[in-house]
Structure formats: C-alpha cells, structure tokens
Structure 1
Amino acid sequence: MISFEFAEHFTQEWIESWNSHNLDIILSHYTDDFCIRTPMAAKLFPESNGVVDGKENVRKYWTIGLERIPNLKFELIDFLVGIDGITIYYLNTATNKKTAEVMSFDENLKVNKASAYYTA
C-alpha cells in the first residue's frame, strides 16, 4: 500500500527530476520493463502508437520530448494516492497544458506502468 508520506516525497522528487532534464535521474524512478501509454508518444514517437514499452525505448521517446521542448518545466497542482499507485496532476509551463499522470508501482516502489492524460 502506498503511504501518503511516500506519495508526497515521490511526487516532489519526480517533479524536481523532470525539471532537471536529467534522464538518468528521471528514469531512476522506473522499472526496466516500464510501460507508458500517452497520446504525446503517438505524436513525438509515432512508431509507438502511443504505447512505449521498456526503459530504453522510453529513454528514446523522452529524449525526443526534451529536445523538442527545451524549456520544459512542471509545476505541481496536486497528487492523489491509491492502493498501489499515485496520480500526479501538474502544469507543463512550457506548453501551458495540464496533465494527470497515473502511475502504478511494483513491490520495490518503482513505477512499472503509467498513463498520461492531457488538457486539450
């Protein structure tokens, strides 16, 4: 079960890692077999059809994203805690779009699945 304290710490660390643009730090939160489902991948990494499997493929996708949005910065709006996951609700200040990212964790408290939802 995910505790509120873990979720709060993870969320802050996650936002800071993205704002650092350091992919090694960002990817340290994820399992090797991590899978993300996101309409942004369909745009930036078309061969994925919106589903990117495996940490190395995710690295390729996120490298493209960071290159295309060099001023990327996330601001936390809120986070929600579930039994085995967290939803992080944030604003991408570079695009002025809100995102909700729903993350599931494995037994080692690493993210193994995520789905992202965006404002229009």
Structure 2
Amino acid sequence: MDKQSALKFAKHWVQSWNSHDLDEILSHYTDDFEMSSPIIVERMGVKSGALKGKGAVGEYWTIALKSIPDLHFEILSVFTGANSVVIHYKGHKGNATEYFHFNDEGKVFKAVAHYE
C-alpha cells in the first residue's frame, strides 16, 4: 500500500463515518470481514470483542450511529504498511487508532480498533 492510497482510504473512511451512511461505511469491507473492538464487548456483550461479517458488524454500527448522533471523526495521522493502514483519529472516546488489513482487491478483511 502506498502513502497516497492509504491517505485516500483514510479520507473516504472518515467521510463515510461522518456522513453516518452505513452502506457507505460498509463499502470498504469484504462481506466476511472481522472487526475487533473493546466497544463490542461493552455494547454487544461479546466477550472476545470480535464480530464477523457485514450483517453482525452492521448491526453493531447501527447501534453506535443511533446512540451517538453527533459522532464525528477527525484524522490525526495515517500509517502505511505493506497491506495495511492504521488511522489515528479523534472520535467520541478521544484519541483512537484503527488497523485495517486489505485483501488483493483493496477491501478490508480485518479491522481492529484501539482507544486511549
């Protein structure tokens, strides 16, 4: 992944979240992607903190969007890996990072959120 592609992804990802458009948010991911977050434990009661597939994660994100109507992300920095991107951003819980691992088609198949 080159820096320009990583920045393009990060900007579109944040714009999608800031628009609160679930279909647009989910457009970045494979159908069977896995999402891991400590907030999944809090809101969904899933002890592993992981959900798999657009259906399960979409349900989780629908709850998040409804419960935080003023949700807004701001990019602080973007880190580029071989087939991954980490976005450091300011969100509803303060500073956060999210790790995205991409398949050969440029879709995210695994994402992991971290909060300060």
Matched ranges for 1:78-117 at <5 A: 78-92=77-91, 95-117=92-114
Which runs of no fewer than 5 residues in structure 1 stay unpaired? none
Partners of 1:12 and 1:27 lie apart in 2 by: 15
CA contact (8 A) 2:93 2:115 kept: no
Stretches of structure 2 that go unaligned for 5 or more consecutive residues are none
Aligned residue in 2 for 1:65: 64
The two structures, once aligned, show a CA RMSD in angstroms of: 1.0
Aligned-partner SS, 1:109: coil
Q: Percent identity?
A: 39
Aligned to 2:15: 16
Aligned to 2:115: 118
The Cα offsets for residues 57-94 of structure 1, whole Å up to 9 and x where unpaired, read as 000000011111111000000000000100000001xx
TM-score after normalising by structure 1: 0.93
Moved runs in structure 1, 4+ residues, more than 6 A?
Answer: none
Q: Deviations over 1:18-74 (max 9, x none)?
A: 000000000000000110110011111114631010111000000011111111000
- 1:96–1:118 distance in 2 versus 1, CA, 3 Å: closer
* Structure-1 residue corresponding to 2:50: 51
- Count of matched residue pairs: 116
Distance 1:98 1:43 in 2: 18
TM-score (norm 2): 0.96
